[in-house]
């Protein structure tokens, strides 16, 4: 089987927000990195939203929980809830005043993106939750499955979007896939060497001639 070939770089050709979703979910300090990542992914205006560390950490945890879901129906339920939510008191959308709705937005690179309508007063946490949930929902609809995951490498907790067309992706990156494959190979060859040593000992002269 060929190793997975993840592509997690910022991808402004496909402004669906998936790469921004992944980058912030994997950030060591989401509140600190919010503005820089939003801007790097083509939306400086969203980067200027008010950031409350605890709120944003909560939103990131909610989104990370979705990345761990592998059941399509459960994922759809979780994403529908997230898309309907808004935790910003001043927001005119996603509240009792009306459904959030969607709108076309032109990004800084000139490309158009369909995404949830976002009120001017909404915080970074509300924006992240809404935009990411919408992007993942579109992705589920397009791929017909939960085409995402949490890295299977032992010491990695990164999430990823599975953009492959063949075998489901298991790792966040090529280094994680390689590291895991090398470790598994080492374990297998250690076991094989141990077996060989035991056999050699059993067959050695010290064990006594069979005659
Ligand atoms: Zn990883």
Domain coordinates in residue numbering, the chain = 18-143, 177-205
Rounded to whole angstroms, the Cα distance separating 74 from 66 reads: 9
At 48-97, the pLDDT tens digits run: 999 999 999 999 999 999 999 999 999 999 999 888 875 444 444 444 45
Does the pLDDT at position 120 exceed 70? Answer: yes
The reported pLDDT for the residue numbered 38 is 92
Ranked by mean pLDDT, the top range of 111-115, 173-177, 183-187, 204-208 is 173-177
CA 158 to ligand 1 center in whole angstroms: 5
- As residues whose CB is below 5 A from the ion ligand 1, the structure lists 151, 153, 156, 158, 172, 176
A 10 A CB-CB count for 147 gives 18
- Can you tell me the distance from the alpha carbon of 163 to that of 120, in angstroms, rounded to the nearest whole number? 32
CA of 46 relative to ligand 1 center, distance in Å: 27
Q: Residue 92 CB: number of other CB atoms within 10 A?
A: 15
> What whole-number percentage of the chain has pLDDT above 90?
53
Task: Kindly give the distance from the C-alpha atom of residue 177 to the centroid of ligand 1, in angstroms, as a whole number.
Answer: 7
| Predicted model pTM | 0.78
Give the helix/strand (H/E) hosting 114.
strand 112-116
How far is the centre of ligand 1, averaged over its atoms, from the C-alpha of 139 (Å)? 21
Burial of 184 per CB tally in 10 Å (0-12, 13-18, 19+): exposed
Question: Could you tell me the distance, in angstroms and rounded to a whole number, from the CA of residue 156 to the centre of ligand 1?
Answer: 5
């Amino acid at each position: 089987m060929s190793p997975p070939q993840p592509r997690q770089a910022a991808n402004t050709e496909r402004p669906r927000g998936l790469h921004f979703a992944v980058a912030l979910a994997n950030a060591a300090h989401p509140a600190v990195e919010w503005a820089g990542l939003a801007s790097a992914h083509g939306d400086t205006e969203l980067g200027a939203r008010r950031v409350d560390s605890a709120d944003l950490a909560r939103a990131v945890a909610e989104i990370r929980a979705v990345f761990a879901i592998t059941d399509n129906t459960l994922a759809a339920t979780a994403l529908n809830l997230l898309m309907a939510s808004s935790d910003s008191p001043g927001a005119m959308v996603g509240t009792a005043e009306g459904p959030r709705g969607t709108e076309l937005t032109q990004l800084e690179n000139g490309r158009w993106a369909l995404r949830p309508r976002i009120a001017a007063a909404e915080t970074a946490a509300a924006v992240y939750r809404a935009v990411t949930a919408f992007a993942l929902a579109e992705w589920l609809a397009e791929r017909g499955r939960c085409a995402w995951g949490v890295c299977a490498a032992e010491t990695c907790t990164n999430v990823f979007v599975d953009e492959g067309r063949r075998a489901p992706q298991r790792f966040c990156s090529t280094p994680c896939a390689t590291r895991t494959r090398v470790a598994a190979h080492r374990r297998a060859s250690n076991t094989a060497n141990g077996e060989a040593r035991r056999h050699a000992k059993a067959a050695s002269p010290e064990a006594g001639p069979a005659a």
